[in-house]
Amino acid sequence: MFEPWLQDAELATDPQGGDGPNAPYSSTDKVAVIALVETRKPTDSVPVRIKVTWTAQADGKTVGEDEVTGHASGQDQWTFEAGPFPPGAYHVSVEVESEIDSAGTGLAFTVE
């Protein structure tokens, strides 16, 4: 079986000039997340669906969603962008699904 897996997901930018990945974003910034999907063999070509959901931590409301289908082969990355967001705490979840399996992870960030 050639199941793909979510190798990593990370916020793509270092907000406000380099204070590290946990630094707050500005309310004028767009926020990007990169999903890195890997297959067992570089020659595999596995259909996948990647879903990204952005939520406000204060009330749990969804503030953005994105979904893409494609084929994972070796190591592939997809970038998703949303925002700008009003000040507050947010969570972004990244889910990768194939016909065989699914996996996901979440990241938190703040906007000032």
pLDDT in tens, 49-101: 999 999 999 999 999 999 999 999 999 999 999 999 999 999 999 999 988 88
Task: Answer whether 0.95 is exceeded by the pTM.
Answer: no
Strands of the chain (E only): list them.
Answer: 5-11, 31-38, 46-56, 62-72, 75-82, 88-97, 102-111
Q: What span, in angstroms and rounded, lies between the C-alpha atoms of 105 and 95?
A: 7
pLDDT at 28 over 70: yes
What mean pLDDT is predicted for residues 45-49? Answer: 91
Instruction: Give yes or no for residue 1 having a pLDDT over 80.
Output: no
As given in the structure block, the two tokens for residue 82 are: 């949303």
92: how many CB neighbours lie within 10 A of its CB? 23
Q: Which residue has the higher pLDDT, 61 or 17?
A: 61
Q: Which amino acid does the sequence have at 39?
A: T
Share above pLDDT 90 across residues of the chain, in percent, rounded to a whole number: 60
Tell me, what's the pLDDT at 20?
Answer: 52
Q: Which is more confidently placed, 5 or 105?
A: 105
**Residue 15 backbone phi and psi in degrees, to 5:** -65, 150
For residue 10, how far is the Cα from the chain centroid? 7
